[in-house]
Amino acid sequence: MSEKRTEIDQLGEFGLIEHLTKNVKLQHKSTLKGIGDDAAVLAINENEVQLVSTDTMIEGVHFNLMYTPLKHLGYKLVATNVSDICAMNGTAEQITVSIAVSNRFPIEALEELYDGIKAACSVYKVDLIGGDTTSSLSGLMLSVTVLGRAKKEDVTYRNGAKEHDLVVVSGDLGGAYMGLQVLEREKEVFNANPNIQPDLDGHDYIMERQLKPEARVDVIQFLKELDVVPTSMIDISDGLASELMHICSQGKVGCRVYDEKIPIDGKTSMTAIDFNLDPITCALNGGEDYELLFTVKQADFDKIKGNPHMTVIGHITDASEGLYYVDKNGSMVELQAQGWNHFDKD
């Protein structure tokens, strides 16, 4: 090992992945897409492909058991992985679940976790087909591998956006982040005085967005019914700005997105204001919404306009025009990825 020491936070999560895998060479023709998208793509036959993705959740990093019910955690574990298959315009079919757990968890607690996993499997019609269980000395660790399927011509990668394409997002944004802020606030209140009950009244929607997000399998079905194949797609786990930068970087394009077009639920906006936060900043940088961000050809606009589940928020430009957010006054602000970074020291 080299004597040189480079801190991981200098690269960040995606910079680290790129650095470690830049010299990886694919050895099988059946591997159509390896590292670098929401899922790997493997050839099955002339018409279909297998989609494979994996994700890990660590106690104290991705979830706090002080306010995360184990059943909700199990459900979220499955839903967030199914979302990766949706982001490839595919259908999830099977999952494996691996857990590392300490002896502070009784069997009943793990039953709660698996009740959530099984509930999500039922909702998304995926089969739990295996996994691994081991001991842990540092809290609960969970890992899911999800397998999906798609027609070869329907698979949507991150790198397909072209100049003049429309930028579209499903649902609304910022709710999961504001749900987390409320939960963290009530945790601090409880730590200061355990006799004070948490004040969560009126926050049901944003609580659910954080604790029990849903994969947008319905949007994939809508797109099929509308006969629309996106030119690029990604799910929003790290914030809208960060995901837009991935699509533009991989497609070698720029973009313009507009303040007044970004969908934000009224409860999200009101809660953000209560926390002295800008709702748009929460939508751009919050993350964990697990909505779908995708681009479509302008010719498909008439097919998607008016659909209550999809909002056109901007358009793709030439790479030379940069990546910009246009505020209510028409001022252009350069997009920056300020969402979740696993290796940020702060």
In a shared domain, residues 99 and 182? no
In a shared domain, residues 178 and 279? yes
What integer pLDDT is reported at residue 343 of this predicted model?
Answer: 42
Residue numbers of the domain that contains 66 = 25-154
What integer pLDDT is reported at residue 339 of this predicted model?
Answer: 53
pTM for the model stands at: 0.91
Q: Tokens for 292, please give them.
A: 């779908």
Shortest CA distance to 327 belongs to which of 278, 258, 277?
258
Q: Rounded distance, CA 234 to CA 294, Å?
A: 6
In a shared domain, residues 118 and 247? no
Q: Tokens for 150, please give them.
A: 């798609």
Q: Tokens for 254, please give them.
A: 């720029």
Q: What is the mean pLDDT of each run of 10 residues along the chain (346 residues)?
A: 67 63 76 89 95 96 95 98 98 98 94 98 98 92 98 96 98 97 94 87 95 98 97 96 96 97 98 96 95 98 94 98 95 80 49
CA distances from 27 to 36, 43, 44, 76 (A): 16, 13, 16, 34
The number of domains in the chain is 2
User: The domain that contains 41 carries what CATH number?
Assistant: 3.30.1330.10
Q: Which of 154, 180, 213 is the last residue of a domain?
A: 154
SS (H, E, C) the chain: CCCCCCCHHHCHHHHHHHHHHCCCCCCCCCEEECCCCCCEEEECCCCEEEEEEEEEEEECCCECCCCCCHHHHHHHHHHHHHHHHHCCCCEEEEEEEEEEECCCCCHHHHHHHHHHHHHHHHHHCCEEEEEEEEECCCCCEEEEEEEEEEEHHHCCCCCCCCCCCEEEEECCCCHHHHHHHHHHHHHHHHHHCCCCCCCCCCCHHHHHHHHCCCCCHHHHHHHHHCCCCCCEEEECCCCHHHHHHHHHHHHCEEEEEEHHHCCCCHHHHHHHHHCCCCHHHHHHHCCCCCCEEEEECHHHHHHHCCCCCEEEEEEEEEHHHCEEEECCCCCEEECCCCCCCCCCCC
- Residue 5, domain member (yes or no): no
In a shared domain, residues 181 and 300? yes
User: The domain that contains 296 carries what CATH number?
Assistant: 3.90.650.10
**Sign of the CA dihedral 152, 154, 158, 164?**
positive
Q: Which of 154, 185, 212 is the last residue of a domain?
A: 154
- Residue 197, domain member (yes or no): yes
Q: Tokens for 81, please give them.
A: 């992985």
What integer pLDDT is reported at residue 28 of this predicted model?
Answer: 85
